Amino acid sequence: AENEQPWGTPCTQLLVFVATPGCDGFPSLDSKESYKLSVSEGSLLLSADAVWGALRGLETFSQLVGRDENGTYYINKTEIVDFPRFPHRGLLLDTSRHYLPLRAILETLDVMAYNKFNVFHWHIVDDPSFPYESLTFPELSKQGAFNAMTHVYTASDVQTVIEYARLRGIRVIAEFDTPGHTLSWGPGAPGLLTPCYLGKYPSGTYGPINPILNSTYQFVSSLFQEVSAVFPDFFLHLGGDEVDFTCWKSNPKIRAFMKEMGFGKDYKKLESFYIQRLLDIISSLGKGYIVWQEVFDNGVKVRPDTIIHVWKENSTPYMEEMANVTKAGYRALLSAPWYLNRISYGQDWMAAYQVEPLKFEGVPEQKDRVIGGEACMWGEYVDVTNLAPRLW
C-alpha cells in the first residue's frame, strides 16, 4: 500500500509492574533498584521488585525513545536487565559556602534522577553560614545565616527537598559537620565554640566545638534529636573532618582537661573523646552514621556499621585508604577522585570516568564493603549562577 508505515504496531502503553509495595516509604541503602524492560511488537513492559526500580526503568525507557526526521516518536525492540553496581551513588552540595536557592536544589535533584543518582548528601552548614532553620535553636540561623530572611532553609523548604527527592528515589543524607567547620554555629549558640587564647587572655576568636563542657553535649543532643526527626533517612553524616587543634591548644581550660584525662599532648584523643560521645548520642537516637575519613584515621572507636567517607587524595593515596578502611571491617564511600569543584580545562570528565573504585588490594569481603561513592561540589566558588554547568 502507498501509505505503508515502516513502523511496527503503534505502542500505546508502557505497563509498569512492581512486585513489592512501598510507594509511600523512603528509599534506603537496601532499596532494590533493579528492573527489567521488555520492548517488543505490541508489548512494552517494565517490571521491578520495588518502585525504586520502576523509577530507574522509566528513566531508561525515556532515553530509548527516539524521534525521526519527520518527528515521529519510535522505539527499538529492546530487552534490558538492569541494576546498579553500587547501592550508594551520591552527590554532595554545599549550601554553606554559598547559599543555594531551593529551585537550584530541586533542579539538581531532577538531573540526579536523569543520571540514576540516589543519594543527595546535603552539606547544609559549615564555617561561613548556617542556613538551616532549627526549631529547637532558631538563633542558629538568625545569627549564623548570611541573611536570616533570605538565605535560609525553612522547615518547609527542607520537607520540600526530602519529598521531591523521595519521588525520584533519592535519599537525603544531611551533614551537620562537627567539631570543626562550625564557626557559623557560634553566634547563635554562645558558649558552644572553644574560645581561643592569646597567652592568658581570650583573643576574641573561636575554634572548634568545645569538647570539655557538658553544655556542649546537651546542645548537640537536642540539635541532633531534631535533625534525626526532620531527616527520615537512617543515616546522618556527622562530618568530623579537618579539626584544627590550634585553638584547643591555646585554651588553658582545655589543656587542664587534657591533663585530667591523661591525654598528654595528643589532641587526637580529645577529638576522639568528642566524636565518641557524639556517636553515642546519634546511636541512641536510632540513627546510623557516616563520617569523613579522619574519624577512622585518628582511631576513634566507632560502631561496626559506620560508613567511612574517603575524601583525601594524597595524604594516604586514596586507594590505600579504601583498602585500610575496608580491611578494618568498615563500609566505605569514595569521593577523593571526584571533587568536581576542582575544575580544570578540557574533558576532565574522562578522569572521573576512569576511576575504578575497587582497584585496591583486598579480599572479596573487603570489596563488598565499598558501597559506592559521591561526587562533591564544594561551594567556595559555586553559587546558583554557575552550579548547573559546573556540575553537569
Q: Which residues are catalytic?
A: 242
- Nearest distance, CB of residue 369 and another protein, angstroms: 21
- Nearest distance, CB of residue 347 and another protein, angstroms: 8
Nearer of residues 139 and 241 to another protein, judged by Cβ: 241
Rounded to whole angstroms, the Cα distance separating 251 from 305 reads: 35
Rounded to whole angstroms, the Cα distance separating 56 from 50 reads: 10
Closest residue by Cα to residue 331 from 373, 280, 275, 285? 373
Nearer of residues 54 and 125 to another protein, judged by Cβ: 125
Nearer of residues 240 and 372 to another protein, judged by Cβ: 240
Residues that bind another protein (CB under 8 A): 94, 97, 126-128, 177, 180-181, 183-184, 204-205, 239, 241-242, 244, 292, 294, 311-312, 339, 341-347, 376, 378, 380-381, 385-386, 388-390
Rounded to whole angstroms, the Cα distance separating 181 from 129 reads: 10
> Cα 94–235–230 angle (5° rounding)?
75
Nearer of residues 54 and 336 to another protein, judged by Cβ: 336
Residue carrying the nine cell digits 554557575: 386
Rounded to whole angstroms, the Cα distance separating 150 from 96 reads: 13
List Cα–Cα distances, 206 to 44, 190, 198, 246, 332, in angstroms: 62, 11, 12, 10, 32
Nearer of residues 56 and 181 to another protein, judged by Cβ: 181
Nearer of residues 82 and 241 to another protein, judged by Cβ: 241
Q: How far apart are the first and last CA of the chain?
A: 48
Nearer of residues 163 and 320 to another protein, judged by Cβ: 320
Give 47: exposed, middle or buried? Use CB within 10 Å, 0-12, 13-18, 19+: middle
Strand partners, 292: 309
SS3 category, 119: strand
Contact 214, 191 (CB under 8 A): no
List Cα–Cα distances, 76 to 5, 43, 47, 80, in angstroms: 15, 12, 18, 12
Q: How far is CA 113 from the centre of its chain?
A: 15
Contacts of 374 (CB under 8 A, 6+ apart): 88, 89, 90, 91, 92, 119, 121, 309, 333, 334, 335, 338
Rounded to whole angstroms, the Cα distance separating 103 from 316 reads: 38
Nearer of residues 241 and 280 to another protein, judged by Cβ: 241
- Nearest distance, CB of residue 179 and another protein, angstroms: 12
φ and ψ at 63, to 5 degrees? Answer: -80, -20
Residue carrying the nine cell digits 561561613: 128
Rounded to whole angstroms, the Cα distance separating 232 from 159 reads: 10
Angle between helices 267-284 and 214-230 (to 10 degrees): 40
